[in-house]
Structure 1
Amino acid sequence: MELNEIFRSVQAASRKLAMMNSDEVNRILLALADETEHCIPELLEANRKDLERMDPENPKYDRLKLSEARLIEIASNIRDVAALPSPAGIILEDRIRPNGLRLKKVSVPFGVIGIIYEARPNVSFDVFSLCLKSGNACILKGGSDADFSNRAIVALIHRVLERLGTDPSAVALLPSSHEATAELLHAERYVDLIIPRGSAGLIKFVREEATVPVIETGAGICHTYFDKDGDAEKGAAIINNAKTRRVSVCNALDCLLIHKDRLQDLPDLCRPLQKNNVVIYADPHAWEALKGNYPPELLEHADEQSFGTEFLDYKMSVKTVGCAEEAVSHIHAYGSKHSESIVTENNVTGSYFQKAVDAACVYVNAPTSFTDGAQFGLGAEIGISTQKLHARGPMGLRELTTYKWLIEGNGQIRP
């Protein structure tokens, strides 16, 4: 099918979705969750074909891999989305003007949302469930790394939609070619919004090339600052969780900033990282503090490339700073406005850090690994927005709506 024909069919389906009621939407989502669990062997077989083509040492391998446990969790997340209230049709404002006109500001779906993403097949489920619940149709443009997985997932979704009498064009998967990406980026007649999920390079390309409006998500260069008033026990647990829980995700820790007066605590702060063989790129002060206290084969001297890098691997840099202000300056210079954290028992310093740091999510005494739609109570998420227009941070259902004005009159004429 020609791509413009696909775009037109998705646009037509989006108009039907906007008229569906919550019960119809929830019935589809619950059926999809059940079908996902029923088809676990089929999905794992498709995923195996993708995994066979990727080096297990590739940082994307963990993102690409599906498992029975992950698919059960995905089904659970779909049920969570079904249980959430619909974000469309909410009256955001209702007032009557002096001339008698009644103005209502009401939340509505965008219409058609295009998602460009790399080796993360779970995104196919997340995007569809959130788009359907918010009344949007979606166009998926996955990478070639996950093509077998994505095609199996979308075929499963189409079966559920057809069985329940809903237009299967509510979701479309484009070919995994560069040509398909280019056409999607310029499909402003049919697509209302594009959200890229993936590397900084992918996001930069989409932002610069698209003529369709774009919300930037993804690239996470995340820092944790251990303050002079930080609790070492809390700090060690926070740093370890932020770095090693899942290294391939955008909320993983990339750089530890440590106050110069607490360098003696650095070996204890980093000790839990040894279990996962985390390579540390340390500046001169941090290197001296860790020398003899951290495995030498895992300790490297930092260079300029060690900072401002999203490692997506068991690697982390360490930078020594003289104060909270210097930590904030480093974050402004090297961060991606995603998620940042401070470990401190000083409420004044914690408050300063949260006000001064320009990022979507700023934590005190908690790891950046919590930046996640499910952890924020949003159900699933469509991405982490690092920009400031429309949405910022985890994008759940409400962030997939815009609004329109409904005006009721009784024959009023403007003078």
Structure 2
Amino acid sequence: MTNVQTTQADELQIKGQKAKQAAAMMGVLPTSAKDGALKAISAGLLHNTPYLLDANRADLDAGRAAGLSESLLDRLMLDEARIRAIADALIDLTRLADPVGQVLEEWERPNGLKLSTVRVPLGVVGIIYEARPNVTVDAAALCLKTGNAVILRGSSSAIRSNMALVSVIREAVATAGLPEDAVQLVEDTSRETASRLFKMNDVLDVLIPRGSANLIRTVVDNATVPVIETGAGNCHVYIDESADKEMAIRIAVNAKTQRPSVCNAAEKILIHQNWPHTAELVAALQWEGVVVHGDEAVIDLADGVLVASEEDWAMEYLDLEAAIRIVSSTEEAITHINTYGTRHSEAIVTSSLQEAKKFQMGVDAAAVYHNASTRFTDGFEFGFGAELGISTQKLHARGPMGLPALTSVKTLISGNGQCK
């Protein structure tokens, strides 16, 4: 056991120190060099697609043998179209402004000192995530564009895919003339190694968990490294009494079924007691294969509805399953969401601008929609390029985390001999 622990610690320490050295070089690189690396990675992914698919197929086979759910297998799966989309996203990222060096504020003091606040890289970013190999590329690309080094720790279910992806990324980064150690993958996926990563304050400047509510809570509760908390998505669609029937049904069905395994999918639907189309909405969801749970009022209004328990209201299904509750007012909907929600994405469907404003200002969430699906909470959809996750906390970053979220600030002061 001692030798195993030593080996685990050695991997983290060796890769951590290499990442710190790489971060020092990355922080001063021009945008053109970083964009060149992203273009090289994009080309490398396309050139190595068969290699990447072989590795991913091995993960999928192992996942099926282990009994992974279809929703988890969908998150894990790569195909040619997904690889092409990931490669295209890297090119899109090169078109976005580099935040590093951006001057946020300038001012001069009465004593002649001139001050400016500028964006700078965070340094070494740790990412711990589950199942989704696309996160491997997104995280590496965002960190590279912002002059950071990154240490990636994915799950055992995607280890073959992640190793193949990081191999391609590192080769492309080196070919572009950047330090390949700016991207590191922790290949030991044990819990013990993850626990050590949580406490690598001498290496990591920030740790970002991306995955299940359990993973995020474990990181938040146990890390000594500063954490940017990304959230599980117990998201809601509230249908107000004035909501257009066709719009409300279209939005609710899309938010629930378009891709149910992701965090911005709606899990709960709240309906005003005076909206007369609840049965039609339930039928539309059931037609799409959704298992519907509901309170007593919903059960009385629609067929085939299961009884919703207290646990249902707080559950993130990540599957074709939803719970519906009838409420008496927008205020009651807000109270329910602020009680059970995860501060991720919430939506109101209404013809009343007054009710929309009340909902948008009263709900505690990173993204609050009026007459639109929650499925738009995404870095690409917000125009940020690739994203590192959806932050549900209120400090430093909130909502889809694009390039600015991976920077900090530094104050530069210029004088002409002033002393205090």
Which residue identity lines up with residue 352 of structure 1 in the other structure?
K
Structure-2 residue corresponding to 1:51: 60
Deviation, 1:390, is 0.4
Maintained 8 Å contact 2:40/2:173: no
Structure-2 residue corresponding to 1:230: 243
Deviation, 1:167, is 1.4
**TM norm structure 2:** 0.95
Residue 352 of structure 1 is aligned with which of 358, 381, 405?
A: 358
Secondary structure in structure 1 of the residue aligned to 2:119: strand
Structure-1 residue corresponding to 2:146: 134
1:22 and 1:86 map into 2 onto residues whose CA distance is 6
Which residue identity lines up with residue 120 of structure 1 in the other structure?
R
Note if 1:149 corresponds to 2:161. yes
List aligned pairs for 1:4-403, cutoff 5 A: 4-54=13-63, 55=67, 57-174=69-186, 175-262=188-275, 264-291=276-303, 296=304, 299-403=305-409
Deviation, 1:270, is 3.0
Q: Deviations over 1:242-285 (max 9, x none)?
A: 001111100011000001111x3012223332343100001111
2:359 and 2:391 map into 1 onto residues whose CA distance is 20
Deviation, 1:58, is 4.1
1:184 and 1:258 map into 2 onto residues whose CA distance is 44
1:403 and 1:128 map into 2 onto residues whose CA distance is 21
Secondary structure in structure 1 of the residue aligned to 2:169: helix
Decide which moves more: 310-319 or 1-10. Answer: 1-10
Which residue identity lines up with residue 392 of structure 1 in the other structure?
R
Secondary structure in structure 2 of the residue aligned to 1:363: strand
Identity of aligned residues (%): 45
Maintained 8 Å contact 1:14/1:135: yes
Deviation, 1:56, is 5.8
Which residue identity lines up with residue 326 of structure 1 in the other structure?
E
Which residue identity lines up with residue 400 of structure 1 in the other structure?
L
Deviation, 1:336, is 0.4
Which residue identity lines up with residue 402 of structure 2 in the other structure?
G
Deviation, 1:239, is 0.5
Q: Deviations over 1:166-221 (max 9, x none)?
A: 21110100021212211211111111000000111111110011010001103010
Which residue identity lines up with residue 401 of structure 1 in the other structure?
T
Cα RMSD after superposing both structures: 1.0
Secondary structure in structure 2 of the residue aligned to 1:307: helix
Secondary structure in structure 1 of the residue aligned to 2:71: coil
Q: Deviations over 1:69-116 (max 9, x none)?
A: 111110111111111110100011111100000111110000000000
Which structure 1 residue ranges, 4+ long, deviate > 4 Å from structure 2? none
**TM norm structure 1:** 0.96
Maintained 8 Å contact 1:232/1:268: no
2:135 and 2:231 map into 1 onto residues whose CA distance is 12
2:325 and 2:315 map into 1 onto residues whose CA distance is 13
Q: Deviations over 1:115-152 (max 9, x none)?
A: 00010100000001100001111000000010000000
Which residue identity lines up with residue 410 of structure 1 in the other structure?
N
Deviation, 1:359, is 0.4
Maintained 8 Å contact 1:114/1:195: yes
Maintained 8 Å contact 1:236/1:270: no
1:210 and 1:18 map into 2 onto residues whose CA distance is 25
Decide which moves more: 325-334 or 51-60. Answer: 51-60
1:181 and 1:355 map into 2 onto residues whose CA distance is 38
Which residue identity lines up with residue 409 of structure 1 in the other structure?
G
Aligned length: 407
Decide which moves more: 53-62 or 244-253. Answer: 53-62
1:48 and 1:11 map into 2 onto residues whose CA distance is 33
Maintained 8 Å contact 1:101/1:408: yes
Deviation, 1:53, is 1.6
